[in-house]
A and B are shown apart, each in its own frame.
Chain A
């Protein structure tokens, strides 16, 4: 499974657990519009760290948190695992 697919499937899993109805996950969708709160993102980042072995937001101290789904996925794709 590609990094992108893993991320999308993790988002869908958490949305189901948290009873969040997701809009279509397109690259230009802002993270705010996903309906996820900060707790849901914290869970997502932790699970992806276990799954992919990386947490791009902790590795780099000056990394700003992404604004869109596309930026979020890129943050994982750009880090050498």
Chain B
């Protein structure tokens, strides 16, 4: 029984498209042959109708298992690599998990789940299994505090932006992403590679950036995505020289003009654009004119099944690509009464464009005045001596908090020019920002931490 209208990931694996591969630093598989192979030693049928948690030690195995399980299991929960054991057990209960696919069975010894299937990178031949159902895809939010939320999607919703925004046919793209594919941003790239007939080169945790880029070059990658923090790191490393992707995309954080300009300079022949997406709201829109922010005309109109409005300065999205619900015992409503997802991302209208100014939850309160760290970072980052910055609150007995900035200098910036750069930053902030938003102190640091989800680590967020 393969209902005609239900497409699972397996149904996109066209055996006629040759030369497609899926690889990381240590493994490679043919996406052409994979439809007739199993990483589960042929035990896929046991997962039929089950709620499966997919928890593998690497993305390569996760990718192969996703191709195999989608369309067979009732639910498939993608476990990101940095999920703590305490959270894992609560998530298993919330998602009513009754089967595990893993290469780390010890992690589940005390979970009470009877069916634990071992996945392995050695693929064996198996007959193609017809699609049985539309599997519910469960993803975890990358919230920085407390329990991640479980978000329910369908493959149709997850791939909603792909048909509308398909890469040019003909030369099939070779994709790469700095994201982990078990996160929304990375999953989009995995799905684009599978559905668009391309190949995919995965990132490898702990791999030096120069080695990663060398591997991407060797694989001839053409299309690549990451967060602005990922890209700033790349621009800072010097590894961008000799790297020439055709299609460069940013998402997951605010793409400021400095990072967009930096990428256009580093990759003059590439198409550089940024996209707005979130685990809950799905892919909202893409901006390909090279400018930060997005045209105000996108608000209030419906295009490609996506409608956006602004409520109290915050972006809300109603979309066929959005998740359908939060999952769990204490799950809250995902949308407002009209079906809009409140993204928590705050915007400001400047001229005929909206600009993202920060997260509603990340606001710093300076003596009763509100500050978004991101808007100050955008001003600091436009200095040519600066590669990236992080603005944070420092406690103050007088105003509750003050704004301080940690700044990473661009490579080639002379350390002896620090005082001059500091004065220029302060002067520019004074000219562009309200007085309480001007950093009280600027500290130069060698690097800023990036979270496993690829975002700038904010201790106070």
Contacts and interface: CB of A to CB of B under 8 A. Distances in A.
B398 interface: yes
Interface stretch (B46-54, B375-383, B434-442): B434-442
B441 A50 contact: yes
A42 B396 contact: yes
Interface string A32-56: 0000001101110111001000010
Interface string B395-438: 11111001010000000000000000000001000100001100
Contact of A45 (B367, B396, B426, B430): B396
A58 interface: yes
A57 B398 contact: yes
Interface residues of A, number: 15
Contacts of B367: 38-39, 42
B232 interface: no
Given A39-B366, A39-B367, A39-B435, A47 B440 contact: yes
B394 interface: yes
Contacts of B399: 38-39, 42
B441 A42 contact: no
Interface residues of B, number: 16
B206 to A, nearest CB: 34
A45 B397 contact: yes
Interface in A13-67: 17-18, 38-39, 41-43, 45-47, 50, 55, 57-58, 65
B394 A46 contact: yes
Interface in B4-48: none
A53 B440 CA distance: 17
A17 B430 CA distance: 9
Nearest to B404: A46
Nearest to B438: A17
B441 A39 contact: no
Contacts of B440: 39, 42-43, 46-47
Nearest to A14: B440
Contacts of A41: 398
Most chain A CB within a 10 A radius of its CB, from B398, B404, B430: B398
A46 B396 contact: yes
Given A38-B398, A57-B398, A47 B441 contact: yes
A57 B398 CA distance: 9
The A contact surface, by secondary structure, is helix
A47 to B, nearest CB: 7
Contact of A39 (B394, B395, B397, B402): B402
The B contact surface, by secondary structure, is mixed
Contact of B398 (A17, A42, A47, A50): A42
Nearest to A41: B398
A45 B366 CA distance: 15
A45 B398 CA distance: 8
A22 B436 CA distance: 20
Most chain B CB within a 10 A radius of its CB, from A41, A42, A50, A58: A42
A23 B217 CA distance: 63
B421 to A, nearest CB: 15
Contact of B402 (A17, A43, A55, A57): A43
B402 A46 contact: yes
A38 B426 CA distance: 19
Contacts of B441: 43, 46-47, 50
A42 B402 contact: yes
Contacts of B435: 18, 39
Contacts of A55: 397
Contacts of B402: 39, 42-43, 46
A6 to B, nearest CB: 16
Contacts of A39: 366-367, 399, 402, 435-436, 440
A13 to B, nearest CB: 11
A59 B426 CA distance: 29
A44 to B, nearest CB: 9
Contacts of A65: 398
A55 B397 CA distance: 9
Nearest to B427: A17
Interface string B330-372: 0000000000000000000000000000000000001100000
Contacts of B426: 17
Contacts of B398: 38, 41-42, 45, 57, 65
Nearest to B402: A42
Nearest to B430: A17
A17 B435 CA distance: 11
9 contacts: A18-B435, A38-B399, A39-B436, A42-B440, A43-B402, A46-B396, A46-B441, A47-B440, A57-B397
Interface of B: 366-367, 394-399, 402, 404, 426, 430, 435-436, 440-441
Interface of A: 17-18, 38-39, 41-43, 45-47, 50, 55, 57-58, 65
Given A42-B399, A43-B440, 6 more contacts: A38-B367, A39-B367, A39-B440, A43-B402, A50-B441, A58-B397
